Structure 1
């Protein structure tokens, strides 16, 4: 519980939820409705969003944390407010909530920060309001909020199909060490998917046609199960990488810089522009972080897999 001296009521709730890396991302052909099915392997990593929820008559939201949130909405268009209102509607709760989010996951960076906020808000409000809807109902509500929200609830390592929200657990042993390079640019996920469609049209003679219902390669599952970073490095795949680089060309230089400085492999995370570098161990991760920082690329270290959204006792 948050102490009253911190400016919060003693019955407020603190929930932490992780960002994610898509260690594998295969995107299906565009469907008639304009959407794409995906097959992805998620890994939750130790870059977290902290959500605090306190009793209130209405719904409000404020931000803090290590990244610039000055242009984030705090009204009903924010996914965290949507999550709180969805739970209230589902349970018949007639009060509100005062939310404060300390953000550390990049905004529009392909790491699911907004989804983590929504997942943490569901858990926090459920505990604060005593609605106790249960894990399966929380997952059902999460699916209504966005493709990555269910995984932020579950955490760990999982395979996502459909929009990415149909989850099945994947066994991962050991700990993987990542260095995340955070470019200055931001990318819109719908824009990256649209660019993927254009990329496929431009290169139709050179690349295989996309499947409507893709699947995760067996090599990825084997590498995760073995806990072998070198094996996983060989299997890293992201169909969204090429269109992300086309929209934000500076990504290419960051990828090259990381791989020249000891990364086993580098890959755009999700729809980008964050670049996730897999390293052999902690020492290699430290060396790479220093090299990137020396080149004036903002870089943070993270490990995975980690737990999904859960309540903390402050």
Structure 2
């Protein structure tokens, strides 16, 4: 009989989106969206322990002053949702150590929610399988299901199942440069809608072509250099209109020799693809001379999703 731990520590990665395709706003208030996911080696750490007074929470590390430590946090929302699913009260204390910056397009909040789902499931011994955890995660946020398994996947939009991808060992090395200001995802999508120039039918047709193009790319089995023409983010233009530093940052990456320059998610992190570790270090050194970044880190992918590092 397997014993159930009373405390568990989990590590969960950030994500990069090598491609994002966005359609026009639908009548239900959501956008059609198709995107490629890649989990990368920048990690938050979540420790969950028994606490009769719970749920309680403490947040430390990167941007901890921007992250609520109450029921607004997706960690506590995830624990409560799973608790309702298995009919258990989430009497836990959560210690969240942040390395993934907030409002940066790297999925930190969603990653933390995924860690909470996996950790609480183990502490309760409730044996909810990964597919069901992913379905629960989708009720919290579209990105949450991806972090359960990580590696690479295709997201097909609101309430659509995630498509896991075969991964054959190609390594992507990214230099992540985070501007001082973040961006609201809601504001970016609103700006996206304002800059559309075609009719609704024209925009829908453009999106259908772009969507299929994203789905057809062999993201997990091709080398990064083969995929350079497909690295594109439809949210980059509206995000740059809201925060011009993004445009300056992307140009800085190109001028300093990045293989590709790409905004991550809805911003504001700019991801620069490097040829290898030495090139990444050189690129980081050059970017540190710029004055628009508050943090520059090197990360690689793909990596696995939530994993237990101590129990």
Normalising by structure 1, report the TM-score: 0.90
Which residue in the other structure is 1:3 paired with?
Answer: none
Residue 181 (1) aligns with residue 177 (2): yes
Structure 1 216/279 Cα, relative in aligned 2: closer, same or farther at 3 Å?
farther
The structural deviation recorded for 1:92 is: 1.0
Counterpart CA distance in 2 for 1:48 and 1:37 is 29
Whole-Å separation in 2 of the counterparts to 1:253 and 1:161: 30
Cα deviation, residue 23, structure 1: 0.4
The residue aligned with 1:94 is: 89
Aligned partner of 2:237 in structure 1 is 242
1:196 aligns with 192
Indicate the RMSD between aligned Cα atoms, in angstroms.
Answer: 1.9
- Aligned pair count? 299
- Counterpart check, 1:144 vs 2:139: yes
Deviations 1:169-225 (A, max 9, x none): 22333110001110011111111011000011xx339xx624465525269723642
Question: How far apart are 1:117 and its partner, in Å?
Answer: 0.4
Q: Is the aligned partner of 1:26 residue 2:13? A: no
Bigger mean CA deviation after superposition, 166-175 or 46-55: 166-175
Q: Distance in 1 between matches of 2:190 and 2:69?
A: 28
Looking at structure 1, the residues matched to 155 and 70 of structure 2 have their Cα atoms a distance apart, in angstroms, of 30
**1:303 aligned partner:** 300
Structure 1 pair 223–145 and aligned structure 2 pair: CA distance change class (3 A): closer
Instruction: Please give the TM-score of this superposition, normalised by the length of structure 2.
Output: 0.91
Does the 8 Å contact 1:179/1:277 carry over to 2?
yes
Gaps of 5+ in 1: 1-9
Q: Distance in 1 between matches of 2:131 and 2:301?
A: 24
Report the counterpart of residue 209 of structure 1 in structure 2. Answer: 203
| 1:95-114 alignment, distance < 5 Å | 95-114=90-109
SS at 2:288 equivalent:
helix
Secondary structure at the aligned position of 2:139 is classed as helix
Contact 1:255 1:267 in 2 (8 A): yes
The DSSP-based 3-state class of the residue aligned with 2:273 is: strand
CA distance in structure 2 between the aligned counterparts of 1:242 and 1:196, rounded to whole angstroms: 8
Shift of 1:312: 1.2
**What secondary structure is seen at the aligned counterpart in 1 of 2:102?**
coil
